[in-house]
Structure formats: C-alpha cells, structure tokens
Structure 1
C-alpha cells in the first residue's frame, strides 16, 4: 500500500512545481539587461534560480546582490516587466493538468502555497484559469513568516478545512520540504522543477517524483 493512500488534499508550490514560470521570469530579467544595453541571456541560465525571485534572477542577469546600491531600482524594474507579462510563456508542467483533473474528479481539493507575493500570484492564477479550481492560494506575504516556516501551509490547512495528517505538499526546493515537515505534512520533492544547489534526494522528503504524471500512481 502506498505511503500516501490516505491523502485527502494535495498542496503545491507554484513556481517550478505546478507552473513552469521560468521563461517569463527570465524574459523579465532580460528586459532589465536590455534597458542597460546588454544582450539577453538564454532561458537555461535563469531556470535554476527561477524559484529564488528577483534576488536569484538579478544575480544571473547582472551579477547583482541585494546589497548593491542599484538593486532596488533593478528589482522594481524586473517586477514591473514580469507583472506585465505573467503568462506569456508560463504553462502548467506537462501532465499536471491531468493530475489536477483526477483530483477534482475524486473530490479531493488541491491548492497552492508559494513564497511569491500575492500581487503576482493572484493574477497569474487567474490568467491560467486556476484560481477557480484551487481550494486555496496562499502567498508568502499573507503570513508572518514564509517558507521554510510552516505558517503558509498551516494557513492553507485552515482555509481548506483539512488535517495535516491527510495532506501532502509537493515542492521543488528544500524550503518546501522543510516547511512541510514543520507543519506536520508529508512532502514530495518535484524532480521536474527548478531545484537548487543541493540534490533533492538529500532534502528528506517522503518521496521524490520525476514527473507530474507519476503523482497519480503514488497518491492512489
């Protein structure tokens, strides 16, 4: 019997787990480069840092850290470009919609818990027509402490009305797994995501899944 046979609710990280947002995030970073007279960089350079937000993107785009005097201006420019083009190239990962449909047909709620701020999360979800399907959508600025703290996951549990013991969280970063552990939720590491410098098998997740299409078998 699967270790996840009793799951009633599935929560997802957003960037790099539910939706492939890296292309639009990279485009926004490249717009900042273009404004400075620099050529755009390939998508592949931004992909590993797409979950790290402006900090990661500007490190790749301009080798600029948050303590740089121009960082606030470049960050604001990046966010403005991104907000204007949230879903030009962003899409659900292949196989993800089929899994969401299977949850919906089974009467199992699913939701999103992300560190992305709500002013970006909410329109992105709406433009992809996911907002009316998700049972909850918790952004990082809606709680006192974002992931790896458990606050946002605990808020999601309250909003959906499910217990931690019957919920699973899927994420592509160690902070997702750490947050789930702190909230008492079982976790699945999404190997199709943006990941980070540490190998996902070292994060301590309950399972490591190669593709969204594998989730249905694991959670059945």
Structure 2
C-alpha cells in the first residue's frame, strides 16, 4: 500500500502568523502605496481571494514580488514571537505516528520556516520543506515536488487556509483539506469546493484516514 503524503501550507495553517503579517503589511503601506488594513477591512479581506485582495489594495503587480520579499524579511525578526496554531502540534504528531509522510510547501522563506519549527520543537515532523513560491504559483511547485519525490497524486493531500491553496491543489489533481483557522473565512473557502473543510486540527487525522 502506498504511503500517504500530507503537504502543509505554513502561514495560517501551522503557524499563527496572521496578526504579525497584518502588522508588517501596515508598516509597509506608505512604501508600497496602499492603505493600512483596519480591523474592519481585515474582516472584509478574509472573504476575498488572493487576486481580489491585490485588486482591492491597488498595489501594482510589478511591486508584488518586492513586497513579498520585504514581508518575509520583516517576519524573520518576529519568528521567536510566533506560536503554532493551537492543537496543530498534537495533530501533526498523530499523523506522523500513524505513518503518514509530512511536508511543507510555502511562499514564506525556508529560513523562517526552519527557525519556527526548531523553536517550537516541530523540526523532526517534516520530511521536506519547499519554499519560494510566487503568490499564484503553488501549482508549479506542487507538481515539481510530486515529480522529484515520485509521489502519486492520488496519495497526496494538501492542507491550507487560503483559496489559492485550494485552487493550486485542484490544478495539481491532488485532494485538498481547507482549514478555517487561518486567513480566509469558512464561507469563501467553502465556495472553492475543497475536498474537505475542517474547523480544528484534531479533525485532521480522521479526515486523512477516511480520504
């Protein structure tokens, strides 16, 4: 029997980074020419796809790669303050002990992810980490990982908290579990028709076992 592979997004799925990222985005607002995010706007943005957020912000597409790079750099200084999503560590341990292969694909930097995992005693749970994804480019890296690792698409499940995670997984022909504890709202995630939609990390093992 083929071993199942569970690939996780990082920000908002494993690490509770939403507040830190909003704070960084607000500090960079003047530099990149967009309005700061108020609590009311954040509620609105949670119901937007990644493309809709960029359109709403008015940030030039040309500036996006520079903005993403700056955000990653700023986040590096806050890694020691960040905490795992409540319950995710226990869920990851359950998955590993149930003989699932775990990995990470993220648009955050590998250094940030590795530092976070080490600080929170999670570094031994993941067999691979791939980073450097463009804001809309997760499908390409998922396909690349499947090819490099010789994973069969039917044996792989992606876990993420944003509409772009669902979109990328579907294009790569793998199953996707959308989680409601990250950035996007349950309503907008449901509209993207993920294979599964869960509200707490403790649901992960059962969903994976029954997928």
After TM superposition, the structure 1 = structure 2 runs for residues 181-200 of structure 1, keeping only pairs within 5 Å, are 181-195=170-184, 199-200=188-189
The match for 2:59 is 66
- Mapped pair 1:96 → 2:91: no
- Cα deviation code 1:26-79 (max 9, x no counterpart): 34345558xxxxxx9877865856xx99xx7xx8xxx974349x9999877655
The match for 1:81 is 74
Counterparts of 2:85 and 2:151, CA distance in 1: 26
- Cα deviation code 1:84-107 (max 9, x no counterpart): 12231x222112111111121122
After TM superposition, the structure 1 = structure 2 runs for residues 43-62 of structure 1, keeping only pairs within 5 Å, are none
- Report if the CA contact (8 A) 2:3-2:99 is conserved: no
In structure 2, stretches of 5+ residues that fail to align are 30-35
Question: Normalized against structure 2, the TM-score is what?
Answer: 0.73
Counterparts of 1:188 and 1:94, CA distance in 2: 18
- Mapped pair 1:172 → 2:187: no
Question: Normalized against structure 1, the TM-score is what?
Answer: 0.70
- Report if the CA contact (8 A) 1:31-1:78 is conserved: no
How big is the shift at 1:119?
A: 4.8
- Report if the CA contact (8 A) 1:65-1:71 is conserved: no
- Report if the CA contact (8 A) 1:148-1:176 is conserved: no
Counterparts of 2:148 and 2:64, CA distance in 1: 36
